[in-house]
Amino acid sequence: MADFYRAVDFILLEEGDGHGRSAKGDPGCATRWGITQLTLDHARELHPELGLPASVADLSRDQAKDVYRVLWWDPQPYGSIADQRVAQKILSMDVNMGPTAIRLLQLALNAVLGDHLPGTFLFGPQTLADVNRADPAALLVALGGQQSAHYRDWIAADPHPPERERFRAGLMSRSAWPYPGRAPLVA
């Protein structure tokens, strides 16, 4: 079964420190370790027992891990996924795009398994069973295709071009993982 600590170390590497600053055009506002100020405020409200700082600029790496655990890992059945790479990929997508990641997962599963899972945005028992039944390599490729198509559509819908365009290379690289150096499936 997938391990949270391996998954979160990957997420932190992928997200980077961020130093608590905002990037122009990034809808997430000030960010550190991939945690936005809005996300930190939400985590502080839901989990005061964590003793999280008020400012994302003061968020430590270990505190960021706590946020990933309570807001993303624990509410979903990621720990019950048999393949570590698949769990990390879905977690990464969830962190980056929220519930849309689960809908894209279901579409990828439909492509790989020939299923007809509805795009419910809910990671229920049938979705989990199908994740563990699917060939991990085929599922990762299908997830990358869904992810890159989502990013392409997000960039194309930019009301103020080229603000989102500057994120294309990073987003397409993210969608190609875990196949470094591989061209995105959808440019």
Task: Please list the residues that pair with 32 across neighbouring strands.
Answer: 35
3-state secondary structure of 112: helix
Rounded to the nearest 10 degrees, how much is the dihedral formed by the CA atoms of 169, 89, 47, 80?
180
How many Å separate Cα 21 from the centre of its chain?
A: 20
pLDDT at 163: 81
pLDDT at 107: 94
pLDDT at 116: 83
CB hemisphere CA count around 169 (13 angstroms): 2
pLDDT at 184: 40
Tokens of 3: 């391990």
Measured CA to CA in angstroms, residue 49 lies from 41, 67, 156, 173 at distances of 13, 12, 41, 36
| Tokens 């624990």 sit on residue | 74
CA gap 132, 125 in Å, rounded: 11
CA gap 69, 57 in Å, rounded: 19
CA gap 136, 123 in Å, rounded: 17
Task: Please list the residues that pair with 31 across neighbouring strands.
Answer: 21, 36
Tokens of 170: 């990073």
pTM of the model: 0.88
pLDDT tens string for the chain (187 positions)? 999 999 999 899 888 777 665 555 555 578 899 899 999 999 999 999 999 999 999 999 999 999 999 999 999 999 999 999 999 999 999 999 999 999 999 999 999 999 888 878 899 999 999 999 999 999 999 999 999 999 999 999 988 878 888 888 888 888 887 765 544 443 3
